[in-house]
Structure 1
Amino acid sequence: MEGLFKLWTSFLASGVEAVAGLIIAFAALQACIRALLIFLDRSRAAAQYEGIQAERIRLRLGRWLALALEFELGADILRTAIAPTWTEVGQLAAIAAIRTLLNYFLQQEIDRAVRRDPERAHPVQDEPASVSSVNSAIGKLKNEPD
């Protein structure tokens, strides 16, 4: 019976790790697309806000990475939930400490950025601007001479 629980928990932990991997992949893809749009938008107004937009991309990516770290920690806990050895417990403690510290410092960075600019506390508010940036970048690409 213990072997069955261990096997099931192992599958569950792998699923949780897969979710973390998907979160990281989608967050990185989103950040790459947004950064590319900033890079392609060469208007004067865009140049003035380039740093602000880059900071928002960085903070959004940081939030998603923090979430993925939580999923990874959950997967590690699941792996050692059934009949752990002392070696596994020690490894979990080390991994948990490292991931918790990473998450803590990442959250501190996000909080400092939000204190500098309270609008960043609500990243969804700038979504329509992102859509207009996409449309603007596409329009400029269409109008540029070959």
Structure 2
Amino acid sequence: MKRLSIEFYIKVRDFKFSDEFILKGTFKLKQEWTKVQFQHFIDILGYRLISPNERKVKFHFRLVMRPDMGEISFEGECILESPEQNKISFIIQNTPQSLRKFLDNFILRNCYYHTEKFAKQEKIYFPPAKEILKRLGIK
């Protein structure tokens, strides 16, 4: 089966993440490719979290092309990236060793928001990512 690599930006209202994210992955075509000449939109048909540490999601979605050119269904895995997590990764790469000790590399780089949610459930103090960025003078 033919493989196609796609990268795009998307906002999804019902996905419980604080900001927009990027879907990246290799997708398997379920039917033949049709040339896209006009407007198109994406319906996410289903998704489930595979690995919180890597923010990896298994998903299935449909690309609908207008005017009535057809549909393509895709499935694959993607990694969720948020602008805030990208800023935190930048901080980790560009800060002195003393500050890196203050910030837990693994948590911040891989799963800060999932860890933050878990910490709230367990009533563990865990500063929000936005707060850390603000303290470091990053908007």
Scaled by the length of structure 1, the TM-score of the pair is: 0.31
Question: Larger RCO: Structure 1 or Structure 2 (Cα < 8 Å, ≥ 6 residues apart)?
Answer: 1
Bigger proportion of residues as helix: 1
Please report the TM-score for the alignment, with normalisation by the length of structure 2: 0.32
Q: Which has the larger radius of gyration?
A: 1
